[in-house]
Chain A
Amino acid sequence: MMRYLLYLFLGLVTRSVLAQTDSTSANPAAFEELFGRDTTLRPGSQQLKLNMDATYDRPFLTMGKLPVSVGGYLEANTQYMQTNGITEGLSFQMRRMTIFLASTINRRLKFLSEIEFEDGTKEINIEFAAMDLELHPLLNLRGGIIMNPIGSFNQNHDGPKWEFVDRPLSSTQIIPSTWSNVGFGIYGKMYKKDWVWAYEAYLTNGFDDQIITNNQNRTFLPATKANADRFEESFNGVPLITIKTALKRRKWAEIGLSWMGGVYNKFQDDGLVLDKRRRVDVFALDFNSTLPTRTVINGELVWARIDVSSSYSQQFGRQQRGGWVDIVQPVLRRRILGWNTAVLNVALRVERVDYNVDTFAETGESIADELWSIVPAISFRPSPTTVIRANYRYQWDTDLLGNPPARTAGFQIGFSTYF
């Protein structure tokens, strides 16, 4: 499967690369129009936004105007889902409200925070609260609560940017988006004609052993987020390293490679040995491109490796992988109902998560514990910063043993807007 996704991705990239040679049909503004105006510190770099830049690429941030600016976004929806013929009925969900607070202390010193209220007030998180200090375009310091640069979605997760009500599954079930931690690091960027190259590297607090001792009955990286102490102290004193590099060519495509790795278990306590050091490593490949047809293709592939003791159950995967591809096609772009720059899109997401890539020691047969889903969508954007979206989801969840999949399908209608 992974290979298939890879081919698909490579196919799409080459297609877009070839397509770009016809410069007349290229549309640099498409991304901007879809994803809001570019407002980062570096003027003149508007079209060269990377996924990494998303933190500062938000419409409220009119840097420099006021000492402090406030903004945020809101996401809500209704859904009707049915699993194997059984439905929980119609429900209304207030997914999240996020508030941004930012301040440009100096032209080269800025602060941004992002506070998120999820599912009403069930979860309140500081997703980002960091200070950025520029020494040189290639060398900036960032410290505080940062979003680990793994894949693209983790940093580029604002609801209004997406045509889909649900977040992509492999980015929330394997990569635990939104995954932020206390730490510090460096980042930098280099421009050359139509190219931009950037990197980020951080040391932060990391995972704990809940990734394999949770009540999901599987290896589940997001389980670490239940540990409220992780903003206060590291679980085992070993920092999590996250490194990302991305390359983008104007009007072509962006491609990002990232890795995050560290030790997740408590291997010693009070000087006494409890276990050997066990690692978790996550690799991600992200890509996006806008074709001359204004079709936006965006996707992410992820692989995770977890060192699980051979004594522990194979219920808990030692390898996971997944990915998603979104294809968004604007079909109407004009004045609609008094909105001057309204856009109507059709979109499709295909996604996959394999929680346990392995074979049973007992039978040599493949361990399942995986899902597939497809989500066709229609979205209406009265303006670039607001989206009203209708999704239909069909999902197949197969249990560990590979029994007939539970089939879930249903409709979701929702909106998301920056404010």
Chain B
Amino acid sequence: MQLCLLMAGGVMVLIACDTLLPKAQLDHDLLDGPIGELTPEQNALFLEGDRGFNDEIFTPATGLGPIFVASSCGSCHAGDGKGHPFTTLTRFGQTDETGNQFLHLGGPQLQNRGIPGHTAEAIPAGATMSKFMPPANTGLGLLGALSDAQLLARADPEDRDGDGISGVVNWIDAPHFFKPQWFHQALNGKYIGRFGKKAAAIDLLHQTVNAYKQDMGITSEFDPEDPINYAVSGQAGDVAPDPEVASSTVNAVVFYLRTLRVPIQRNVSDAGVIAGKQVFTKTGCAGCHTPAWTTPKSDIAVLSNQTFAPYTDLLLHDMGKDLDDGYTEGTAKTSEWRTPPLWGLGLSKNSQGGNVFLLHDGRARSIDAAIRLHGGEGAKSRDTYSQLTASDRDNLLQFLDSL
């Protein structure tokens, strides 16, 4: 008995001694977690959404497929961070703004995997395509709370200020389930998109419903049809009863995305980081990667009147012919891409398997390479960057890595 007590005692001491237990990750290395103080009701909904996003793995029995790309949101957005070439999506369609001409052939998205017994989809002849690397999902609530008026105020389609940067919004046909909020503005029945590489999703519900269907083959009340491999399987969907995900789950996931925190900047007081921030503005990066926004009033209290630093203007820019894949969505041109937020940039490798894969398709393997691939409206800024002194460039990269 003494011996047991001794052993038990020893273990108690060990428990106390937390050097044997793995340390918590530093807050600023994590992307998951709620933004600010939520009410208990909101906390419960956030956790429900977190489960739906990170833990719910779909199987053929629960509706995966019949054709799909991945089996959970978290598979592509690991730890809410960026994705990997393995989870990259392929979209296909046409080169002009007439709307996707390949919907009847399985467009706009390629489901390159099929559940057992189903053949994966292939790109139909005549379609153009582009690959999309999954972005991080942080701080989207704040971006979604900005008003259309704020975005339009930043747009400069005619380049009136003569800085070589225009910036336009993408006008999108709203899905039937879209419910405009007070800050949305319509133009000929279309609304401004702000999520996705081409800003083709108007709000987070729009993005989420599409993700369930196009990325996983999961039907919902919002969109009750399975993606189908028309070329091979005729009309055969899967046999799981529809809808395959409950509206309550979809709504919880949307709430989770809206209240997911923003990445916390690291090494803020390093001299290089401070100097790099100056270089960022001087080099013209801020012309598109807008450093500060303030939200108006929002239906979620923690999102109201917040000033935040996403480093995006949420507008589309012509990025030149090297980044032109010949594929488009909405009213965007093939060479136009939405400025991606730069917050969390330095944490990219923690979710991209230790490497970095930047730009819309992950082709840039370093921050430096991503900047050097800017063309079109970004050409001037890129050229200024390449002429920076070595120390200015180091400082800029240090700053970007701290985001």
Binding site for B on A (CB under 8 A): 80, 82-87, 209, 212-217, 265, 274-275, 309, 311-315, 336-337, 344, 360, 362-363, 365, 368, 378, 380, 388, 390, 392, 394, 399-404, 407-411, 413
Known contacts being A209-B116, A312-B114, A403-B78, is A86 close to B20, with CB within 8 Å?
no
Cβ–Cβ contact A313 & B11, under 8 A: no
How many residue pairs link A and B with beta carbons under 8 A? The number is: 119
Interface core residue of B24, B62, B68, B119 (most chain A CB under 10 Å): B24
Interface residues of B in 183-219 (CB under 8 A from A): none
Q: How far is the CA of A407 from the CA of B116 in the complex (A)?
A: 34
B22 in the interface, Cβ–Cβ < 8 Å? yes
Interface residues of B in 47-91 (CB under 8 A from A): 57-62, 64, 68, 70-72, 75, 78-79, 84-86, 88
Binding site for A on B (CB under 8 A): 1-4, 7-8, 10-11, 14-15, 20-25, 57-62, 64, 68, 70-72, 75, 78-79, 84-86, 88, 113-120, 350-354
| 18 sample A-B contacts, Cβ–Cβ < 8 Å, listed by A number | A84-B24, A85-B21, A85-B23, A85-B24, A87-B21, A213-B59, A215-B57, A217-B71, A314-B86, A315-B70, A337-B1, A360-B85, A362-B85, A388-B7, A394-B20, A400-B75, A401-B86, A411-B15
Which residues of chain B are near A390, meaning CB under 8 Å?
7-8, 10-11
Cβ–Cβ contact A378 & B59, under 8 A: no
Cβ–Cβ contact B1 & A413, under 8 A: no
Q: How far is the CA of A399 from the CA of B352 in the complex (A)?
A: 11
Which residues of chain B are near A337, meaning CB under 8 Å?
1-3
Which residues of chain B are near A380, meaning CB under 8 Å?
3-4, 7
Cβ–Cβ contact B7 & A392, under 8 A: no
Choose from A209, A213, A413 the contact partner of B8 (Cβ within 8 Å).
A413
Choose from B57, B61, B88 the contact partner of A217 (Cβ within 8 Å).
B57
Q: How far is the CA of A402 from the CA of B351 in the complex (A)?
A: 8
Cβ–Cβ contact B116 & A360, under 8 A: no
Cβ–Cβ contact A85 & B22, under 8 A: yes
Q: How far is the CA of A123 from the CA of B88 in the complex (A)?
A: 40
Choose from B78, B115, B117 the contact partner of A401 (Cβ within 8 Å).
B78
Cβ–Cβ contact B21 & A410, under 8 A: yes
Q: Please name 6 further chain A to chain B contacts, defined as beta carbons within 8 Å, in addition to the given A84-B25, A388-B7, A409-B22, sorted by A numbering.
A: A84-B22, A212-B116, A315-B75, A360-B84, A362-B86, A378-B7
Q: How far is the CA of A214 from the CA of B72 in the complex (A)?
A: 12
Which residues of chain B are near A368, meaning CB under 8 Å?
353
Residue of B with least CB distance to A401: B353
Which residues of chain B are near A215, meaning CB under 8 Å?
57-59, 62
Q: How far is the CA of A37 from the CA of B14 in the complex (A)?
A: 35
A4 → B minimal CB distance (Å): 22
- 6 nearest A-B pairs in the assembled complex, by CB-CB distance: A85-B24, A401-B353, A407-B22, A362-B85, A402-B353, A215-B57
B358 → A minimal CB distance (Å): 15
A163 → B minimal CB distance (Å): 13
A124 → B minimal CB distance (Å): 23
Q: How far is the CA of A312 from the CA of B22 in the complex (A)?
A: 36
A274 → B minimal CB distance (Å): 5
Cβ–Cβ contact A312 & B113, under 8 A: yes
Cβ–Cβ contact A309 & B116, under 8 A: yes
Cβ–Cβ contact B59 & A402, under 8 A: no
Which residues of chain A are near B57, meaning CB under 8 Å?
215-217
Which residues of chain A are near B86, meaning CB under 8 Å?
314, 360, 362-363, 400-401
A123 → B minimal CB distance (Å): 20
Residue of A with least CB distance to B85: A362
Q: How far is the CA of A390 from the CA of B14 in the complex (A)?
A: 12
